Amino acid sequence: MAPRLRRHITDSEKTLLWERWRRGESLHQIARWLGRRHSSIRRVIAQAGGIRPVPRRRSPRALTLAEREEISRQVALGQSLRQIAAQLGRAPSTISREVERNGGRDGYRASHADQRAWDRARRPKVCKLRKHRVLARLVADKLQLQWSPVQIAGWLKQRSGGQEEHQVSHETIYRSLFIQARGALKKELLAHLRHTRAMRRSRHHTQKTANHGQLTDMVSIRERPADVEDRALPGHWEGDLLMGSHNSQIATLVERHTRYVMLVKVDGRDTQTVIDALIKHAHKLPRELYKSLTWDRGKEMADHRRFTLATDIQVYFCDPQHPWQRGSNENTNGLLRQYFPKGTDVSVYSQAKLDAVARRLNERPRQTLNFETPAERFQQCVAVTS
């Protein structure tokens, strides 16, 4: 049986491949569309870390293929190199070097010379983190503390005193992690990112779905006061359940003004257990710092009226299939997946362990807070109310 010839992916196919990847199509969808194996598509995307390479362009000063074809014809006709240079409007030295490095007068071929010039032009720029190893070690240390690349870049910019060599962009950090050929950061550091995937995916790749329960006597988020909406005052929280395996869960609460996080251990998902845990937790905070709670339409909040009567805290509910209306909580739950990956049985964690995780998260600088920490902002609010 004759071996099957490998058909390489053409440049035009790669262009279409990256465009479909940007739109969020899966590797299998792209492979079926191109009539290729899934592994072939993955190889191309994984080599670039899921980041579309910057298209190569020829320098406007370089010889074109048309000029090289003219050189080839004139050389065959016996024209001198100076005559050829004059016809093309080029320096004689340019024509001389071009002919000599590509086989001389007897062996010069335009297409071969043009391809060799294109291959020689590959001069990849050395990554900044590879040149500045002290900066790379500092970035690696912060990644191990679960700081995001955006937080690291913002923190470095604040402490650099305007010196460019002590700064690095978050995009450079991401590219150094996803594209291992850069040799700047170790692949193991990917495990400390919020999403531990080995290559970048399009933001359109996955669409979250939700299974919401039907509740009664709900107060819509649209009836929330304006001072809650603009985050002007502290004391307004967003909440949800972070789900684990074996029907385990943690109640997550985020203060909208400061992005301060609190985690509450709950032993079950039924409404009585969840409401009892939230009532107990609410009594730990000053009244001025717990005025409202915005929740998704999960069945665990079916007894929300009892929570309001026991705490005098109004509960507001998102519109159906609009979890993004609790944006701070949704983002925080994503951050918490670094500590509680999907498939983890979160019931094994004590309240003390949950408090430690919340403390770690609250001590991370946040871009939305101008790289202050939620803990610093929340303590300022506590000081004002005391």
What CATH number has the domain bearing residue 380? 3.30.420.10
Q: Is 253 helix (H, G, I), strand (E, B) or coil?
A: strand
Task: Encode pLDDT of 4-45 as tens digits.
Answer: 556 678 878 888 888 888 888 888 888 888 888 878 888 888
pLDDT value for 86: 92
When pLDDT is cut at 50, 70 and 90, the band that residue 207 belongs to is very low
Pairs from 57-64 (Cβ < 8 Å, separation ≥ 24): 58/118, 58/121, 59/121, 62/117, 62/121, 63/90, 63/94, 63/98, 63/114, 63/117
Q: What is the mean pLDDT of residues 367-375?
A: 92
- Rg over alpha carbons for the chain, rounded to the nearest Å, is 30
In a domain, 376, yes or no: yes
Tell me: do 85 and 179 sit in the same domain: no
User: Is residue 345 pLDDT above 90, yes or no?
Assistant: yes
Tell me: do 241 and 372 sit in the same domain: yes
Q: What is the mean pLDDT of residues 56-65?
A: 86
In a domain, 208, yes or no: no
Tell me: do 231 and 351 sit in the same domain: yes
Distance of alpha carbon 263 from alpha carbon 228, whole angstroms: 21
Domain count, the chain: 4
Task: Encode pLDDT of 76-118 as tens digits.
Answer: 999 999 999 999 999 999 999 999 999 998 899 999 999 888 8
In degrees to the nearest 10, what's the CA dihedral of 32, 33, 35, 41?
Answer: -70
Last residue of a domain, one of 102, 120, 138: 120
In a domain, 70, yes or no: yes
When pLDDT is cut at 50, 70 and 90, the band that residue 127 belongs to is confident
Domain containing residue 177 = 128-192
pLDDT value for 1: 46
When pLDDT is cut at 50, 70 and 90, the band that residue 208 belongs to is very low
Tell me: do 248 and 232 sit in the same domain: yes
Q: Can you give the pTM of this predicted structure?
A: 0.52
In a domain, 323, yes or no: yes
Last residue of a domain, one of 120, 154, 182: 120
What's the token pair of residue 52?
């579309």
In a domain, 78, yes or no: yes
Task: Encode pLDDT of 148-160 as tens digits.
Answer: 999 999 999 998 8
pLDDT value for 212: 40
When pLDDT is cut at 50, 70 and 90, the band that residue 205 belongs to is low
Tell me: do 138 and 267 sit in the same domain: no
Tell me: do 176 and 237 sit in the same domain: no
User: Is residue 209 pLDDT above 50, yes or no?
Assistant: no
